[in-house]
Amino acid sequence: MKWDFKPIVLDPNRKSDAQRLRLLFRRKPPLTIADTLEDQRAELWESRLLPPNPLNSGAERWVYYPWRNVIVHALAPPLFQELRTSRNRNLITKEEQKKARSSLIAIAGLSVGNTIAAHLMLEGFENMHLADYDSLSLSNLNRLRASIADIGVPKTVLAARQLYEINPYARIMLFTRGIQTLADIERFAVQPRRAALIIDEMDSLELKLALRRVAKKNRIAVISAADNDTNTVINIERFDQEPSRELYHGVLGDVSTEALHAMAKSEKIGIINKMVGEKFITNRMKASLAEVGTTLHTWPQLGGAAAASAAGICFAAKRIILAGDLESGFYSVDFGALFSSA
């Protein structure tokens, strides 16, 4: 099945686009038209602390979202980006925002990764590669913001639609079969363009190692977040600065992809503990992991922890890409400790 995920952006000042717009507006059943351009223009001048003035004739676009049957009247790219990120100003400088827009982030795994991608888009990152082989299921809806009407939609398509509805001018490439081979990983992270950062939220332990080997070879930083009860553990591996750093900081030893593949599920739980950072795992999560394969189908995850993971990853991405000063290691966000009484 072919899934629409990218909006059609039309410039009414171009003859071919104007003709296409006329056809769209005549469509039966009719499109839903969302025309708030004048409000956007007024807000733009307000954000500049200036009285309203007319904008030039090239300052508008029409954006058609086929999966919604909606067409939206929007500011043209430079003005749109200025206004959309105006509340980021000072917290993210103009130069940092420019660098964020141009930096490619590759995100593998789009359950928690979906929330991460949305946070990054909100803060001005708009160039992404998204990889996942799976489709949305009902059990995802405890931690992934979507609709029951979206069940069955590929997670890559779902994420791209959500991101394009935030920013129709984003640049997003989808890997709808995930990254199953070395060639997939190379296209995802290195060729034809090298990613500034890789975010790993995949479940497959074998693919996690394969992805890191490519990142290490090409000196690309990798960050990942592991839900830990209501908390999260952020893992940062600065292969961009430390190409000799061992995968997962050496805590896995010399385990190979082949050895991982041959392990029973119970053996893999021990590896997961090390990947997360054993000292951070809460008692409830330890008990839950011990029951995977017996009373639990897979490890439990919570929506709040997914949101915390997204916030932590977003912070780390900004520090790595915009400042470059974040060190490798495991970082725990522990709400239990934060809210414990003295």
> 123 and 48 share a domain?
no
> 217 and 331 share a domain?
yes
User: What is the pLDDT, as a whole number, of residue 268?
Assistant: 79
Q: How far is CA 291 from CA 224, 276, 296, 298, 300, in A?
A: 24, 17, 6, 9, 10
User: What is the pLDDT, as a whole number, of residue 308?
Assistant: 95
User: What is the pLDDT, as a whole number, of residue 269?
Assistant: 79
Residue 55 lies in domain: 8-84
User: What is the pLDDT, as a whole number, of residue 133?
Assistant: 97
User: What is the pLDDT, as a whole number, of residue 270?
Assistant: 81
Residue at 173 is within a domain: yes
User: Is the CB of residue 199 less than 8 Å from the CB of residue 220?
Assistant: no
- Distance from C-alpha of 244 to C-alpha of 225, rounded to nearest angstrom: 22
Taking 50 as the pLDDT cut, the residues of the chain under it are: none
- Distance from C-alpha of 209 to C-alpha of 323, rounded to nearest angstrom: 27
- Distance from C-alpha of 260 to C-alpha of 227, rounded to nearest angstrom: 21
> 104 and 242 share a domain?
yes
Please give the tally of structural domains in the chain. 2
> 212 and 67 share a domain?
no
User: What is the pLDDT, as a whole number, of residue 341?
Assistant: 66
Checking 88-91 for CB contacts under 8 A at 24+ apart, the result is 88/123, 88/124
> 127 and 68 share a domain?
no
User: Is the CB of residue 164 less than 8 Å from the CB of residue 118?
Assistant: no
> 166 and 225 share a domain?
yes
Which residue, 137, 112, 110, 109, is CA-closest to 301?
A: 112
Q: Which residue has the tokens 């296209």?
A: 187
Backbone angles phi, psi at 149, to 5 degrees: -70, -15
> 312 and 228 share a domain?
yes
Q: Of 84, 104, 136, which residue is a domain's last?
A: 84
Q: How far is CA 218 from CA 104, 127, 193, 198, 240, in A?
A: 14, 19, 12, 11, 8
> 97 and 74 share a domain?
no
Residue at 117 is within a domain: yes
Strands 104-108 vs 197-200: parallel, antiparallel or unpaired: parallel
Cis peptide upstream of residue 66 (ω within 30 degrees of 0): no
Residue at 65 is within a domain: yes
> 62 and 133 share a domain?
no
> 78 and 130 share a domain?
no
Cis peptide upstream of residue 29 (ω within 30 degrees of 0): yes
Full strand arrangement of the beta sheet holding 32-35: 8-10, 60-65, 70-75, 32-35
pTM of the model: 0.95
Residue at 12 is within a domain: yes
> 71 and 162 share a domain?
no
